[in-house]
Chains A and B, each alone.
Chain A
C-alpha cells in the first residue's frame, strides 16, 4: 500500500514538472512558431533514447519573493540520448519557464551535464532559448555563465560542442555558443546579439530591426557566428544529425566509417567542370562532389565568406575535411573572413583526427584599403598558422591558379602538406601572367614603338614559360602532376598511405596563434 502511494506521489511530481511553464506559456511558445524544449529534444534524438536527469531541481532564488515561486526543472531540461546511435549529452532551455532565464540552479544543471559529457567523452549539444540572466538571482546568474564558459573552453578540442539557437540568446549568453564548435540557427527564430535594437536606438540613435541586427541570416551570412542556417526547426535537426554522422565522439577517436560508395560520375564529370581560361568561374563544390563518396558534400558556413568552401565528405567511407577556394565568388580570393573561416575549420579537423584535403584555385589576396585596414595581415596569418600546426594527413591538389602568398597559404609543401598534386591546368607562379609581365618587362614595354603589342607578346611569353605546374614540379614542390580523372585514386592512395602518420612537435604549453 505504502509503496503504491509513493509511486503515485512520484507520478504526480513528474506530471507537475513535465508541464513546464504551463498551458498558457506553451501556447505562447507555439504561437511564435517554436517547439517546446522537450519536443525539440525528442525530435532531435533517436526515438525512446532520451533519458532526463535533474527534473526535480528547484531554483535557488531567495530575494524578491522568488522563494514563493515554483519553476519546474528551473527552466532547463538536461539528459543523455543517442543520435543515429551516437551517444550525446544534451540540454535545452525552456522558455516557458521564467523565459528560460538563467539562475544559479539552471546553470548548475547545465554545468553538471557538461561535466558528464567531458567524463564520458561524448558530444555536447546545447539548445539555447532564453531571455538571459535571471535578474532576481543577481551575481549568481553571472557566476553561472562564467562556469559554463570555462567548461566550454576546457571541452574545446576534446569533445564536439554544438550550439543550437532556437530563440533569443542575448548579452553575455552569446559567448557560450561562440566558444563552441558549431552554431545552428533557424530563420525568424534565432536572435543573437550583445546589445538589442532598443538599447542601440536609445543610446546611439541607430535604428535597425531585430532580424537585420542579429537574426539567423545575418549570423549565417554577415557575421559568420553561425555555421548552419535552416528555414525550420525540423530542417535544423536534420542538419545536426548529418553533422553528428561525420564527426568522432571525442578527440581520441576517428569518425565512424561509412560504407564505401563511388561518386556519381555521370552527374559530376570531373573533365567538364573547369574552364580552361583561368579567368573564368566555376563551382568548386562540383569538383569535390566529382571525387567524394556518393558525391555527397556536407558544406559548413555556406553563406559566410563564400569565396572559400569548407565542409565534410567521405573518401572510401572515411570522413575528410575539405577546404577549397571558390572561383565562383570573389574569384576565390583569400580575405579577412575567408581566412578566419578556413583557419578555424582546419583546427577543428586537426583536433578531431579528420584528414584535410585542400583544393587550390586562387588569384591571391583581395586588394583594397578596406581589407588592409580590417587586418588582412593578422587574419590571413591564421590560415598559415592552422595549416602549419595541423598534424593530421594533409593532401593538396592544385586545380588551376596558385599565385603568390595564396599558393603558400593553401597548404603547400612548405607548410608540410604530405602530398601536393597538380592538374596539368595548374599555374604556380608569383602572380598572374599579366601582372608579372608588366613588372618584369616594364622598361621594354614603355620604350617599345607599340607598347600594347609588346605587352601582349610578353604576357604570352610568361604564360608559356611559367603558367604551368612544371616549374614547381622541377623543384619537387609538386609531388605528381595528375590527370583530373586520376584525382580520386590518388587521394584514396594518399590517405591509405598516411594512416599511421605521426610527426613530432616541439614541446610547448601552447602556441600563440594570431587570434
Chain B
C-alpha cells in the first residue's frame, strides 16, 4: 500500500484559484482542448469518404454554393459554403477517406 502511494503521479489541479495536489485520470488527460469555431475552416462533421469536390484554390463562391460531397453512413452529405468568399485551399481529393474533424477546405 505504502509503496503504491509513492508511485502515484501527483499533479496540480486548480479549482477556484486554489492549487490542489492530486492525481489525474486518463480520461481527464485525454480530453480535447476547446477550439473556438472558425467559419473559414470547413471540417468533416462525421468521418466518411469524399465523393466529389466542386471547388479549387481561388474559386469564388457564394453562400450556400455546393463545396463537396462527404459520404458517411450511406448518406451523401452536400457540404455548402457558409459565406461568400474565395477558397484559400482544398485539402481533400475525390475518393479520400477522412476522419471526424479533418480539415477539408479553407476560405481566404
Residues of A whose CB lies within 8 Å of any CB of B are 203-206, 221-222, 279-281, 283, 305-307, 327-333, 337, 363-364, 366-370, 373, 403-404, 431-435, 438
Count of A-B residue pairs with CB < 8 Å: 90
* Shortest distance from the beta carbon of A152 to any chain B beta carbon, whole Å: 28
- Chain A neighbourhood of B18, CB < 8 A: 279, 363, 432-435
B98 touching A281, Cβ below 8 Å: no
Across-interface contacts of B83 in A (CB, < 8 A):
none
CA distance A10 to B106 in the complex (A): 75
Answer whether A279 and B20 are a contact pair too, CB < 8 Å, given A205-B48, A366-B15. yes
B97 contacts across to A, CB distance below 8 A: 205
Known contacts A204-B47, A205-B97, A363-B16; decide if A330 and B72 are in contact (CB<8 Å).
no
**Does B72 contact A327, Cβ atoms closer than 8 Å?**
no
- Residues from chain B with Cβ under 8 Å of A329 in the complex: 22-25
Task: Find out whether the CB atom of B16 lies under 8 angstroms from the CB atom of A331.
Answer: no
- Collect the chain B residues with CB atoms within 8 Å of residue A438's CB: 17
- From A435, which residue of chain B is reached at the shortest CB distance? B16
Apart from A222-B26, A329-B23, A432-B15, list 6 A-B contacts with CB within 8 A. Answer: A205-B98, A279-B19, A279-B20, A281-B20, A283-B5, A363-B20
Say yes or no: B23 contacts A432, CB within 8 Å: no
A205 contacts B16, C-beta separation under 8 Å: no
Contact, CB under 8 Å: A205 / B24: no
Enumerate chain A residues within 8 angstroms of B13, measured Cβ to Cβ. 330-331, 333
Among B10, B15, B47, B72, which residue has its beta carbon within 8 angstroms of that of A281? B10
The docked-state distance in angstroms from the alpha carbon of A279 to that of B11 is 12
Cross-chain contact A221 with B26 (CB below 8 angstroms): yes
Report which of A205, A327, A370, A404 forms a contact with B34, defined as CB distance below 8 A: A370
Q: From known contacts A204-B72, A205-B98, infer whether A432 and B34 are also in contact, taking CB-CB under 8 Å.
A: no
- Say which residue of A205, A222, A364 sits within 8 Å of B15 (CB atoms): A364
Minimum CB–CB distance for A294 against chain B, Å: 17
Say yes or no: B73 contacts A434, CB within 8 Å: no
Query: In the complex, are the beta carbons of B47 and A363 less than 8 A apart?
Result: no
Cα separation A203 to B99 with both chains bound (whole Å): 11
A330 touching B24 in the complex, CB below 8 Å, given contacts A203-B73, A205-B97, A206-B47:
yes
**In the bound complex, how far is the Cα of B20 from the Cα of A403, in angstroms?**
14
Bound-state Cα–Cα, A221 to B28, Å: 12
Contact across chains for B22 and A331 when beta carbons are under 8 A apart: yes
- Give Cα A441–Cα B31 distance, bound, in whole angstroms: 35
Q: Which of A330, A373, A431 contacts B16 (CB 8 A)?
A: A431
With A281-B10, A281-B22, A329-B25: A370-B17 Cβ-Cβ less than 8 Å: no
Closest to A336 in B: B27
Please state if B17 and A206 are interface contacts (CB–CB under 8 Å): no
- Chain B, range 63-89, C-beta contacts under 8 Å to A: 72-74
Which residues of chain B in 6-45 are interfacial with respect to chain A, using CB atoms and an 8 Å cutoff?
A: 8, 10, 13-28, 31-32, 34
A206 touches B72 (CB 8 A): no
Q: Report B10 CB to chain A, min CB distance, Å.
A: 7
> Which of A281, A331, A369, A373 has the most chain B CB atoms closer than 10 A to its own CB?
A331
Shortest beta-carbon distance, B76 to chain A, in Å?
14
A sample of 6 cross-chain residue pairs with beta-carbon separation below 8 angstroms, ordered by A number, consists of A330-B13, A330-B28, A364-B16, A370-B32, A431-B16, A435-B16
Shortest distance between the CB of A381 and any CB in chain B (Å): 20
Q: How far is the CB of B38 from chain A (nearest CB, A)?
A: 16
The reply to whether B15 and A363 form a contact with Cβ atoms under 8 Å apart is yes
Name B32's closest neighbour in chain A (CB-CB).
Answer: A370
Q: A337's contact among B24, B27, B48, by CB below 8 Å, is which?
A: B27
**Which residues from chain B contact A373 at a C-beta distance below 8 Å?**
34
Chain A hits for B46, CB < 8 A: 204
Residues of B within 8 A of A283 (CB): 5
Q: Tell me which residues across on chain A come within 8 A of B15, comparing CB atoms.
A: 331, 333, 363-364, 366-367, 432
- A281 to B13 CA separation, bound complex (whole angstroms): 11
How far, in whole Å, are A378 and B13 apart by their CA atoms in the complex? 23
Contacts of A305 in B (CB 8 A): 25
A281 touches B23 (CB 8 A): yes
Q: How far is the CA of A370 from the CA of B25 in the complex (A)?
A: 14
Please indicate which of the listed interface residues A306, A363, A433 has the most CB atoms of chain B within 10 Å of its own CB.
Answer: A363
Across the interface, which residues of A come within 8 angstroms of B100, CB to CB? 204, 206
Q: How far is the CA of A431 from the CA of B46 in the complex (A)?
A: 41
- Which B residues are CB-close (under 8 A) to A280? 21
Q: How far is the CA of A287 from the CA of B22 in the complex (A)?
A: 17
| 8 Å CB contact of A330 from B5, B25, B49 | B25
* Chain B residues near A404 (CB-CB < 8 A): 16
Contacts of B22 in A (CB 8 A): 281, 327-332
Give every chain B residue within 8 A of A331 (Cβ-Cβ): 13, 15, 20, 22
Q: How far is the CB of B16 from chain A (nearest CB, A)?
A: 4
